[in-house]
Structure 1
Amino acid sequence: MSGLALAGVSSLLLAGCAAAPETGDDTPAAPDFLPCMVSDTGGFDDNSFNEIGKQGLDDAAAALGVKANAVESQAETDYASNLSNLVDQGCNIIVTVGFLLADATKAAAEANPDVDFAIIDDSSIDLPNVKPIVFDTAQAAFLAGYAAASYSKTGIVGTFGGIPIPPVTIFMDGFVDGVNYYNEVKGTSVKALGWDVAAQDGAFTGGFEANDTAKSTAKNLLDQGADVLLPVGGPIYTSGAEAIKDSGKDIALIGVDADVTQTDPSVAGILLTSIMKGMQVGVAEVVKSTADGKFDNSPFVGTLANGGVSIAPFHDFESKVDPGLQAELDALTADIISGKVKVESPSSPK
């Protein structure tokens, strides 16, 4: 595994969290504990943030010896009713997957102070029964931008997103800043299309669905010469992959949230790397700590330092990247952790 896929993912364990205490017959405690989850649109088979979040829920349920209940949102209008239904079913903790569920999560938490909630990718809710699980993804995206600039043969890379919300634009901020840092260090002029960090404006598909809009957005960047592509928004990466394969050109894809080579081997042959968030372990530990009576509302922020964010190995591209790139990225990782290199995104969790 690459030095960048920081082994410290296990260090996501939240302060004060612990596994459920053993009972005399070695059966996990809390048999009546019911952990639940509400997805964003895209579903639990998106090979991305919904799916990874549910894996964390399932891991916790297995460790506790209980069953979990997870419901999918087909549209934003489902959020409130899904939350209400789970409250009615007696859920002890409800994890909501994504920034767009913030309003519905806040309303449900205010109406049900005896139920604990956790929300991924949002830190705006200040309630005693809501725990944010957030990630400074710009740090890992900075590394991916540097790698993309190093790999590019055309001197042009591109990115596009689903919806212009902080959990999306934080990837794009870090990516473009990483490209610019590569130019600063190497004296090159690699261009990053699709996102203007200063203006906070760029290319978006209007949703997280893999569809013709997402594919045409990707194609537009490829037509402008981009040979590395970062789609940010769950399933839209599959549309980017289709555009790459249709082009017949040597173009690399960068995945988000998980190591997409592992979650979707169908794109492994075109995947340079992935920008990863440790959502699975984060969700599992929050759920287990809640079962153990140790819930608190202090945010967890994943960083390079604690292993909460990282980039995946180069896998099939190991022999295609510059031989010195890995060492440069390892050094850059250390410099970001130490603060020698500042990675600052308007979208970073505060």
Structure 2
Amino acid sequence: MLLFSRTMKRAGTGLCAWLAAGSMAAAFTACQVTDTGGIDDNSFNQTAWKGVLDAQEQLGISGRFLESQAETDYEANINSLLGGQCDIIITVGFLLGDATKAAAEANPDQRFSIVDYSYEPVIPNVLGQIYATDEAAFMAGYLAAGVSETGILGVFGGINIPTVTVFMDGFVRGAEYYNAQHGTAVSVLGWNPETKEGLFTNNFDSLDDGRAFAQNLYDEGADIVLPVAGPVGLGSAALADELGVEKLKIVGVDADLYYTDTEKQHVYLTSITKQMDATVMQVIENTMNDTFEGGNLVGSLSNGGVDLAPFHDMDALVPDSLKQELAGIRQGIIDGTIAVDR
């Protein structure tokens, strides 16, 4: 269990510095508990923490976080933040759902928000931050099907949980929609949205697994792979770097990995992004303004909560006609004429 209090730890830089003494007296404190991926996971923990950092800069709050080294740390980390020091406790990830629920119900006066999770029925002092990632993943699958040279795509997850498989569902269905529009037969290895069976590393931290799973999919013909496994995907990116992007390309998740995985940025065709920094900051503002309510805050294509990242170095590989199709698909998803969940 690692504690960093009131830091200015910049996402993606590794720089950690203490706030000036005057800032340490901030009247509002936002506290974050990560899952086992860690605060610098180039993924959702890091992006959520950026929301706290943005609030520090723009709203003058104080921020601190606890890193969970194992799932057994979740309850202890949350409990250690109770007692009035945190105006809002933000937990990150599906796996913290049970521990957050237990702490919230035992401490009804403490406000909580959980990233990538929601409760039914609503817990009055918990605001869930959830994302329609299948919308952006649908676009990514359509894009990948249009760019693939082999006609075979690959996908694998970290753990078989809804916040992972929602990416996989959208990706497969986007490729299927491409086939329906173009009369092609692009296949996706690694996931079946109907049977809910597929490939999972069963962890979010082994880069070796990321390399091995991507290698297996590549060996079966996939030239574009979507790893939905947090830092595990960095292993897939390392493999793509070694093979060369003409042989294997990667689709990132959560953050725009072109900016967060700078050493391997050239291997990313695009990323399926969740704007967790924006929703975290919105939750903080709501809490500061005393407009906090339990329930759900949903990020979608229509409100900018999810998106498909730019193609960056691979922009020239995406024909203008495909870009126009993607723009039409985006609008169709927003206005409801294209269903991503069938």
Q: Same fold (TM over 0.5)?
A: yes
CA distance in 2, matches of 1:159, 1:303: 22
Q: Quick one: which of 201, 212, 215 aligns to 2:211?
A: 215
Q: CA contact under 8 A between 2:209 and 2:232: conserved in structure 1?
A: no
One-letter identity of the residue aligned with 1:319? A
Post-superposition offset of 1:122:
0.8
Summarize the alignment of residues 29-40 of structure 1 with structure 2, pairs less than 5 Å apart. Answer: 31-40=26-35
Deviation at 1:214, TM superposition (A): 2.5
Q: Equivalent of 1:338, from 331, 335, 342?
A: 335
Q: Of 320, 323, 327, which residue of structure 1 is paired with 2:324?
A: 327
Q: State the one-letter code of the partner of 1:68.
A: G
Would the aligned equivalents of 1:35 and 1:61 in 2 still touch at CA under 8 Å?
A: no
| Cross-structure match for 2:69 | 74
Q: Distance in 2 between matches of 1:308 and 1:59?
A: 16
Which position in structure 1 is the counterpart of 2:11?
none
How far is the alpha carbon of 1:32 from its aligned partner? Answer: 2.2
Q: Please say if 1:204 is aligned against 2:200.
A: yes
State the AA in 2 paired with 1:59.
Answer: D
1:263 alignment partner in structure 2: 260
Q: Which has the higher contact order (CA 8 A, sep 6+)?
A: 1
Instruction: For 1:155, give the aligned amino acid.
Output: G
The alpha-carbon deviation at position 89 of structure 1 amounts to 5.7
CA displacement at 1:212 relative to structure 2? 2.1
> For structure 2, which runs of at least 5 residues remain unmatched after alignment?
1-21
Which of 139, 147, 155 is matched with 1:159 structurally? 155
Name the SS for the 1:68 alignment partner: strand
| Letter in structure 2 aligned against 1:41 | T
CA deviation after TM superposition for structure 1 residue 270, in Å: 1.2
Candidates 111, 118, 127, aligned match of 1:116: 111
* One-letter identity of the residue aligned with 1:274: S
Match of 1:230 in 2: 226
Of 296, 301, 304 in structure 1, the residue corresponding to residue 298 of structure 2 is 301
Q: Partner residue of 2:18?
A: none
Counting aligned pairs with the same residue, the percent is 47
* 1:255-303 deviation per Cα after TM superposition (whole angstroms, max 9, x unaligned): 0111111112222211100001110010011012101211111311111
- Of 157, 162, 165, which aligns to 1:169? 165
The farther-off stretch of 180-189 and 284-293 is 284-293
Whether the aligned pair in 2 keeps the contact of 1:210 and 1:238 (CA below 8 Å) is: no
Please, what TM-score do these two structures have when normalized by structure 1? 0.88
Distance in 2 between residues matched to 1:231 and 1:83, nearest whole Å: 29
> 1:208 is matched by which residue type in structure 2?
F
Partner AA of 2:319 in structure 1 = D
Please state if 1:239 is matched with 2:235: yes
Query: Counterpart amino acid of 1:250?
Result: K
The runs of at least 4 consecutive aligned structure 1 residues that moved more than 4 Å come to none
- Whether the aligned pair in 2 keeps the contact of 1:34 and 1:68 (CA below 8 Å) is yes
SS at match of 2:317: coil
What CA distance in whole angstroms lies between the structure 1 residues aligned with 2:146 and 2:70?
39
Please, which of 108, 129, 140 is the counterpart of residue 136 of structure 2? 140
Give 2:284's aligned residue. 287
Structure 1 stretch displaced more, 76-85 or 117-126: 117-126
- CA apart distance, 1:323: 2.6
Secondary structure of 1:159 counterpart: strand
Q: In structure 2, the residue corresponding to 1:250 is in which secondary structure?
A: coil
More off after superposition, 320-329 vs 159-168: 320-329
Equivalent residue for 1:128, pick from 100, 108, 124: 124
Aligned partners of 2:268 and 2:207: how far apart in 1?
20
Contact 1:60/1:285 (<8 A) preserved: no
Aligned residue-pair number: 318
Instruction: Choose 203-212 or 138-147, whichever is displaced more.
Output: 203-212
Residue aligning to 2:3: none
Segment drifting more, 102-111 vs 85-94: 85-94
Amino acid at match of 1:317: M
Letter in 2 for 1:235: P
Indicate yes or no: 2:274 matched with 1:253.
Answer: no
Give CA deviations for 1:84-123 in whole Å, capped at 9, x if unaligned.
1111362111000001000000011011111100001111
User: How far apart, in 2, do the equivalents of 1:247 and 1:309 lie?
Assistant: 30
**Structure 1 unaligned spans of 5+:** 1-26, 346-350
Q: 2:10 maps to which residue? A: none
Counterpart AA for 2:63: A
How far apart are residue 344 of structure 1 and its match? 1.1
The Cα of 1:338 is off from its aligned counterpart by 1.1
Mapped to 1, the partners of 2:237 and 2:46 lie a distance apart of 19
Distance 1:62 1:37 in 2: 17
1:244 aligned partner, one-letter code = A
Distance in 2 separating the partners of 1:211 and 1:315: 24
Matches of 1:225 and 1:121 in 2, distance apart? Answer: 32
